[in-house]
């Protein structure tokens, strides 16, 4: 049996549970998937993530209300928390690889993709500071000064948040921390991540883990390009207003 066929029944059970608002059935679905021998990373990315994507698609198509979308997302958040708090019999060494910061750019409220990335990286042995949605750039930089992570992972789903992403990328690099960007806001194959000067881009949580495993060189503050000189329209805030 291939992996898709293995996870399909648990994905269907989770979907039915979140639509019904049944948190206990949702947690039971993923626990049974683990008991069936499906790994935690696969449960997160091949069971929980597709269900969350379906929730968003149905909301966008007006098949479910905003209230039901919020309730379903909250249940999936609880499912991820339940997985994260499980005992680790497999001997995973926490924080063996180093420390990273994961969060959403200022103004970005779609935090679930970033949460999945954070949990996958924890499974892979990273110490993760997960900052969640809507992280103001000044507070992000203060956090970096306090924790000195090896990298910052910035997530954004909406292109309208790219100006804030641009500011955050430049600010992180200015204090010597490399930035790995992810999320649909950064375009196909990360074209906007490169345009905004990010040190790397990844299409999904597994890709993030692979990029970090290969290492991201730390930028030196003197080498950070001062983008304001190349984008004079920043002065009149047009960049902040345009999509």
Answer positive or negative: Cα dihedral of 159, 165, 166, 167: positive
Structure tokens at 124: 């892979």
Q: Are 43 and 21 in contact (CB under 8 A)?
A: no
- Stated pTM of the model: 0.84
Q: What is the mean pLDDT of the chain?
A: 87
Task: For residue range 35-89, list pLDDT tens digits in order.
Answer: 999 999 999 999 999 999 999 898 888 898 999 999 999 999 999 999 988 876 6
Non-local (6+) Cβ contacts of 33 within 8 A are 7, 10, 43, 47
pLDDT, residue 162, reads 93
Asked if pLDDT for residue 243 goes beyond 50, the answer is no
pLDDT, residue 22, reads 95
Give me the mean pLDDT over the 21-48 stretch.
94
For helices 23-35 and 3-20, give the axis angle rounded to 10 degrees. 170
Q: Which stretches of the chain are DSSP H helices?
A: 3-20, 23-35, 40-42, 49-60, 66-84, 112-123, 137-147, 162-174, 191-195, 205-214, 238-241
Task: For residue range 223-239, list pLDDT tens digits in order.
Answer: 554 444 445 444 445 55
DSSP assigned state of 230: G
Helix (H, G, I), strand (E, B) or coil at 64: coil
**Nearest-10 Cα torsion for 79, 81, 86, 91:** 120
pLDDT, residue 205, reads 93
Task: For residue range 189-210, list pLDDT tens digits in order.
Answer: 999 999 999 999 999 999 999 9
Q: Which domains does the chain possess?
A: 3-84 (1.10.1240.10), 98-233 (3.40.50.280)
Structure tokens at 164: 């804030």
The Cα 182–Cα 114 span in angstroms is 9
pLDDT, residue 217, reads 87
pLDDT, residue 216, reads 87
């Amino acid at each position: 049996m291939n992996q898709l066929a293995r996870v399909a029944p648990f994905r269907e059970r989770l979907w039915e549970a979140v639509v019904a608002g049944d948190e206990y059935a949702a947690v039971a679905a993923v626990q049974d998937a683990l008991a069936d021998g499906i790994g935690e990373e696969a449960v997160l990315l091949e069971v929980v993530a597709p269900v969350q994507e379906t929730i968003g698609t149905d909301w966008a198509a007006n098949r479910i209300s905003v209230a039901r979308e919020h309730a379903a997302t909250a249940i999936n958040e609880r499912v991820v928390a339940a997985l994260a708090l499980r005992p680790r019999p497999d001997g995973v060494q926490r924080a063996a690889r180093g420390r990273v910061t994961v969060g959403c750019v200022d103004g970005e409220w779609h935090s679930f993709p970033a949460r999945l990335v954070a949990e996958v990286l924890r499974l892979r042995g990273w110490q993760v500071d997960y900052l969640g949605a809507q992280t103001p750039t000044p507070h992000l930089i203060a956090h970096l000064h306090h924790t000195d992570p090896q990298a910052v992972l910035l997530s954004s789903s909406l292109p309208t948040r790219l100006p804030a992403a641009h500011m955050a990328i430049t600010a992180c690099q200015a204090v010597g921390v490399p930035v790995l960007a992810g999320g649909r806001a950064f375009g196909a194959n990360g074209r906007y991540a490169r345009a905004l000067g990010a040190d790397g881009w990844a299409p999904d949580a597994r890709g993030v883990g692979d990029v970090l495993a290969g290492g991201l060189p730390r930028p030196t503050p003197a080498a950070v390009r001062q983008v304001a000189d190349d984008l004079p329209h920043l002065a009149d805030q047009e960049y902040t207003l345009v999509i």
